[in-house]
Structure 1
Amino acid sequence: MNAEQMWNEFVTGNQIKETEYQYQSWAFGVDADELADLVLRGIKTGTASAYPLYEVENEALPKAGDYSIILDSKDEAVCIIKTTKVYIVPFREVREEHAGKEGEGDGSLEYWRKVHIEFFSQNMSEAGRLFDEDMPVVCEEFELVYRP
């Protein structure tokens, strides 16, 4: 199922006017299938992204109330999430609580920092920028609202 088909099922089943809400569709960065599965199992309820990349890509920041269709590695729709909270902090100030909500590895801040230093360093480099621990990070919390 593609994103548009899933969105149509969601709005029809929940009697939502399509014009009332919009959605974005995207896949999680490193391992789209594994991370989407964590969302489906209720383990992953948060994500983080590099704030400077929103400027580079001229993309709007997420906000509470936004809907996103999560895609797998084959660009097939897996589920729909709704953003419940967004805040921006320097990388070094991301807390253990947020790391746990991301649900990756052992859920620790130490694990989160290790994998995100690698991930953000690569993404920033590809955009011609450098990662440092003062870089602002967009922390997003969400809830699973639809699965086929």
Structure 2
Amino acid sequence: MSDALPEVDREAAGALWAAYAAAHPSAAAASDYSVEHFGDSPALADALLRAVTHGPKRATAELVDAFTAVGDPLPRIGGHWIACDGTGRPVVVLRTTELRLATFDEVDADFAYDEGEDDRTLESWRREHRRYWTRTCAARGVTWSEQDEIVCERFAVVWPPELADTATRRPTSS
């Protein structure tokens, strides 16, 4: 089995988005969406997605250069993205609720806690992200620096209803 992430299933992502847009036309009307995995391997994608669907993960961090390297725009507040599992299957629709740019030493304990990974401390956040960005930058042929800009993004799970955050759920109509 390869450690490379598979292509995402764009047809299934379109169907997931269509269901969300039908249920929430005003939220979906003003937004395009991206379709992505968390992490850089199927196992990490699955673990991080599980931390979203069945755990406390409500934030993520990525290097600005990682977006620009593949030609993707930076996230924006109110924007949506569909998170896929390690097989490329779309699972949830996320909506960005907060963004800020920071360097490694500017990321604080509250953000590390909201990322919901490991023991949720700033120390473990720094250790694991240092490893992750060193590895992913090397794979792109660049060297990671603690001065590189990081997109710190908080999000809400908005679809499907059974996984959506309580604060974003809408009453069902009769």
TM-score where L is the length of structure 1: 0.91
Greater relative contact order (CA < 8 Å, ≥ 6 in sequence): 1
What do the CA deviations read for 1:9-49 (whole angstroms, capped 9, x no partner)?
11112234865421101110051112111111351110000
What do the CA deviations read for 1:104-148 (whole angstroms, capped 9, x no partner)?
010001111111111101111122211121111110010111126
Pick from 148, 155, 160: which aligns with 1:147?
Answer: 160
Deviating 4+ runs (over 4 angstroms): 16-19
Pick from 135, 140, 143: which aligns with 2:148?
Answer: 135
Mapping for residues 117-128 of structure 1, pairs under 5 Å: 117-128=130-141
8 Å CA contact retained: 1:25, 1:68: yes
Confirm whether residue 89 of structure 1 aligns to residue 102 of structure 2. yes
8 Å CA contact retained: 1:48, 1:138: yes
8 Å CA contact retained: 2:21, 2:29: no
| 2:25 match: secondary structure | coil
Measured after TM superposition, the shift of residue 53 of structure 1 is 2.1
| 2:100 match: secondary structure | strand
What do the CA deviations read for 1:62-116 (whole angstroms, capped 9, x no partner)?
1101101110011111111100111111112111111111100100011111111
Mapping for residues 30-109 of structure 1, pairs under 5 Å: 30=40, 31-109=44-122
Other-structure match for 1:27: 37
* Letter of the 1:27 counterpart: H
| 2:50 match: secondary structure | helix
* Letter of the 1:128 counterpart: G
- Where structure 1 has 5 or more consecutive residues not aligned to the other structure, the ranges are none
Identity over aligned residues, as a percent? 28
8 Å CA contact retained: 2:92, 2:160: yes
Other-structure match for 1:11: 21
Alpha carbons of structure 1 residues 18 and 66: separation in structure 2 relative to 1, 3 Å: closer
8 Å CA contact retained: 1:42, 1:144: no
TM-score where L is the length of structure 2: 0.79
* Letter of the 1:123 counterpart: T
More strand by share: 1
CA–CA separation in structure 2 for the residues paired with 1:67 and 1:104: 22
